[in-house]
Structure 1
Amino acid sequence: MNFPIPYLPGEVSMTLIECAVHAGFPSPAADYAQSRIDLNRHLLINENASFLFRVLGESMTGIGIYDGDTLIVDRSITPAHNQIVLAVIDDEFTVKRLYRRGQDVRLIAENPAFPPIILKEGQELRIWGVVTFNLHRLLNV
């Protein structure tokens, strides 16, 4: 996991084609409208607390987070049980599912090849932020 890429203010916009895209059977061609959307407003909950992280590794593939993906992490969200979080264990970043029930706190991988992280005596865990989006590239260009 690399260090965060800070959010840089300013509008980032793209054209939104307002037409449903079916992932099942194709539908007949339909009229559609075009408009511009600000990706910052669409992807960021709190722009002042949002950061980008590049994923390194395969521990979260079970929920569609792959090596090389870019995560949007929001530091203003209070982490809760079962959320995907960016954690820091002994000064190293990791992305995992947060398991928190009473005093039992673990970080759970979403790949059966990786065991849960259960803190040992003397280890420090900080939840750096909550993952809100995964930007996954479908085509290598």
Structure 2
Amino acid sequence: MNVLSISPLRASDQSLQVLAGSAAGGFPSPAADYWEPPISFDDLLNIRAPHVWIVQVEGDSMRDVGIYDGSRLVVDRAITPCSGHIVLAYVDNQPLIKRLARSPSGWLLESANPLYPPITPDEYGAVEVFGVVTWCLNPHAL
């Protein structure tokens, strides 16, 4: 999955209204009349932090974890990456979104699509993990 753009997030003073906190996927909730205070994406996504970036992705190599072509990801540089995290990594200066995994031969970068094999240590000269993906934002109605 290729990265189209990387940019820092900018803070906003706007809040969003919350409707019952969650929406039922099946039957209506009896708590539908319950009011919750507005939420702020700034607070929810930690946007005000200088170590948080947004990344737009291209491709389908991470589709099985809900990251699609055109998704925007929130990437936190302050989180120490470990095996199992989805990360933004630079492989030979090419930014990619992959799942970080450990093998006896070193770190692997795995796709979440069986059509794409893992990237093994012998396939790259240098790899740098930029940050850990904390949120995925997918467009639905544009």
What amino acid maps onto 1:129 in structure 2?
A: G
Indicate if the aligned counterparts of 1:45 and 1:74 stay in contact, CA closer than 8 A.
no
Show the counterpart of 2:59.
57
What amino acid maps onto 1:31 in structure 2?
A: D
Question: Structure 1 vs Structure 2: percent identity of aligned residues?
Answer: 36
**71, 78, 81: which one aligns with 1:79:** 81
Q: Specify whether residues 106 and 28 from structure 1 end up closer, same or farther in structure 2 by C-alpha distance, changes over 3 A only.
A: same
What amino acid maps onto 2:139 in structure 1?
A: R
Q: After superposing the two structures, state which structure 1 stretch, 8-17 or 47-56, moved more.
A: 8-17
Aligned pairs for 1:1-141 within 5 A:
1-28=3-30, 30-44=32-46, 47-101=49-103, 104-120=106-122, 123-139=125-141, 141=142
Q: Deviations over 1:17-39 (max 9, x none)?
A: 23442113334573121422111
Q: What is the Cα-based RMSD across aligned positions, in Å?
A: 2.1
Q: Number of residues paired by the alignment? A: 140
Normalised to the residue count of structure 2, the TM-score between the two structures is 0.87
Unmatched tracts of structure 2, length 5 or more = none
- CA distance in structure 2 between the aligned counterparts of 1:138 and 1:121, rounded to whole angstroms: 36
Q: Deviations over 1:42-73 (max 9, x none)?
A: 11277211111001001000111000000000
- CA distance in structure 2 between the aligned counterparts of 1:24 and 1:34, rounded to whole angstroms: 21
What amino acid maps onto 1:18 in structure 2?
A: A
Q: Specify whether residues 9 and 28 from structure 1 end up closer, same or farther in structure 2 by C-alpha distance, changes over 3 A only.
A: closer
Query: Which contiguous aligned blocks of 4+ residues in structure 1 show a shift greater than 4 angstroms?
Result: none
Q: Specify whether residues 64 and 121 from structure 1 end up closer, same or farther in structure 2 by C-alpha distance, changes over 3 A only.
A: closer
- CA distance in structure 2 between the aligned counterparts of 1:101 and 1:46, rounded to whole angstroms: 36
- CA distance in structure 1 between the aligned counterparts of 2:90 and 2:122, rounded to whole angstroms: 14
What amino acid maps onto 1:4 in structure 2?
A: I
